[in-house]
Structure 1
Amino acid sequence: MSRIDWEHTRAFQSLVVRSALIAVASITIFYLVEIYADSLRDPRYLDGWLLTAGMAAQVFFHIATKRLSLKARERWRSAHIVIGCILIAAFLSHSNFALPDTGVAWALWGGFVLITLSGLGGTYLSWSLAARRGIDDDVLSGDLNARRTKLASNARDLIAALDDQVGTEILPQLPHSSWIADLYHKRLRDFIESDRSFPFYRIGSGARLRRMTNEIDALSPYVDAQHQEVLRVIKAIVVEKDRLDGGRILLWLRSAWLFVHVPVTYGLIVLVALHILLVYSFSSGSL
């Protein structure tokens, strides 16, 4: 088994374990709330405090990301995602699967829904970045730009060497170099050297990459072994450029996402504190 296959297998096993943990914890919450209600006590106090405890744990995630190492932050992120998914069950139980009927309740409901949706979006972005090995939260956009520039320079040098090779041949040769140079200038150069495609990059769409790699593969059988190696290098450059393009926009989306998820989280904490104060002010608050 190759390293990539092993990483994919490990990631799948981790996903299965997390999903099972979320399912078991969610079922347990509903079961405990049902038992609590059967004892003639208000179950909203139980699932409400479970929600509060879970949100308090989530706050520590933001503290951990600023103080711990990258590996420790990854463990905290995994726990953050699992706890967040479990809190969905507590929220559904606390709201009794119904829409709110007061202004404060609507604010709490809307805030939690927005946090949940943005959290799921952030999880997708994290998994997408993890799939692009070597691109994570510690990689700056400037680092990606430098790597993209280096790829473009390598491609230009490779094609320039081919052109020189064609110009210095004494005996007639098959125009393998010319074919490759023509493919590069007409079909690949704009993608490799230009940044214009960035605003239109579609995450998860491999149509553009497939088109270019298919064109490279289509030419490969018609050139000799030496030029096939050149095409292999060009194909690797194209694949890496596509990976960096996707990583760049994913990092940008992660940065923009934080301006939604984090402020709403802290705003919801304030609303939760107000909600608890109101509940215990106008009721006995007995468990």
Structure 2
Amino acid sequence: MKTLAGRRISFTTILLGVGIGCYFLWNAVGVALRPQGIYSGIALLVLMLALTLFNARKKLPFLPLIKASHWTQFHIYTGFLSVFLFLLHTGGSWPSGGLETGLFVLFWIVSISGVAGLVITRWLPGVMARSGESLTFENIPKFETRLRREVEEMVCQGEEEFGASAIGELYINKLSDYFKPRFGPTLFMGRIGRFRVRAFQECDKVARYLDDDGLSILNALRKKIDLKYNLDVQKAAQWMLRFWLFIHIPVTYGLIITSLVHAWIALAFTSSR
């Protein structure tokens, strides 16, 4: 079996070869005094329709079609090829008409969000694996509620059995907000690691005033802080993995519809000449 690096080199070589071939064909069409815009536009529309089929393939995993992993590779490299064809088709310049401008903007939103999604889906799974146990997005709120309840019970029990009032004050004044559920984007804006570091720092400030029983409770509290950190990482990562799709997929369908209208107008105008 080919290594991942070997497959990437092979696919990149094929992509470059196809791109060079498209460039020479585009020039040949111009030399033959044929409408370059029509041919490149049709090729680009076909590519975009093929790319859209990737989403349909993911929703039909039970059909004996090409493997989803192969579809993914096809989607990635064909996406880069479509960007090259789009630059050929438009000349890289800003269009003048309203429909063309809308189409131009939609295409770049889809392309940029696609590249962002590629980076996110390659980077975040490793981050999630390093932070701890992987969790499904739907179960995270349940775990957050359970963890906070366990921490509060542990703090109350420590106060009752060992008179660890310092830990109770630590939780109420410094850590109660840490164990509250946070909205996904706020985790990124606050940088998840900073929340945990600050929580540990507050624990260190109290540790010097505790006896052995209090320290055992504090150590258990530190473990809960690590569990909350993993929940925050999983939540933020899962949120981001979903958010980019909420941009990429709807705009893709808008792009396809606008492209079909543009193609119909262009072909109708060409045939009337």
Q: Provide TM-score, normalisation by structure 1.
A: 0.68
- Alpha carbons of structure 1 residues 44 and 228: separation in structure 2 relative to 1, 3 Å: farther
Q: CA distance change for structure 1 residues 29 and 110 in 2, over 3 Å: closer, same or farther?
A: farther
2:55 is matched with: 62
Partner letter of residue 31 of structure 1?
I
Could you tell me which runs of 5 or more consecutive residues in structure 1 were left unpaired when the two chains were aligned: 1-12, 168-176
In structure 2, what residue type is equivalent to 1:268?
L
Q: How does 1:72-221 map to 2 (within 5 A)?
A: 76-77=71-72, 79-123=74-118, 125-127=120-122, 129-130=124-125, 131-133=127-129, 134-135=134-135, 139-140=137-138, 143-167=139-163, 177-192=164-179, 194-195=180-181, 197-198=182-183, 201-203=186-188, 205=191, 206-216=193-203
CA distance in 2, matches of 1:64, 1:251: 22
More moved, 252-261 vs 110-119: 252-261
Secondary structure of 1:31's match?
helix
The total of aligned residue pairs comes to 254
CA offsets per residue over residues 52-94 of structure 1, 9 Å max, x none? 233122222221222227xx65665565344334422222222
**Contact 1:29–1:90, Cα closer than 8 Å, also in 2:** no
* Structure 1 vs Structure 2 CA RMSD: 3.8
Q: Name the SS for the 1:67 alignment partner.
A: coil
Distance in 1 (CA, whole Å) between partners of 2:90 and 2:113 is 20
Secondary structure (helix, strand or coil) at the match of 1:190 reads coil
- CA shift for structure 1 position 162: 2.0
CA apart distance, 1:112: 0.3
Q: Percent identity?
A: 22
Quote the Cα distance in structure 2 between the aligned partners of 1:151 and 1:78: 40
Tell me if structure 1 keeps the 8 A contact 2:106–2:251: yes
TM-superposed CA distance for 1:146, in Å, is 0.5
CA change 1:37–1:82 in 2 (3 A) is closer
2:17 alignment partner, one of 28, 48, 57:
28
Residues 111 and 22 (structure 1), Cα distance of their counterparts in 2 relative to 1, 3 Å cut: farther
Q: Whose relative contact order is higher, 1 or 2, with alpha carbons under 8 Å and at least 6 apart?
A: 2
**Structure 2 contact 184–235 (Cα < 8 Å) conserved:** no
Question: Shift of the alpha carbon at 1:215?
Answer: 3.3
Equivalence for 1:53: 46
CA offsets, 1:225-279, max 9 Å, x none? Answer: 7765644442332233234335445545655554443232122212222333334
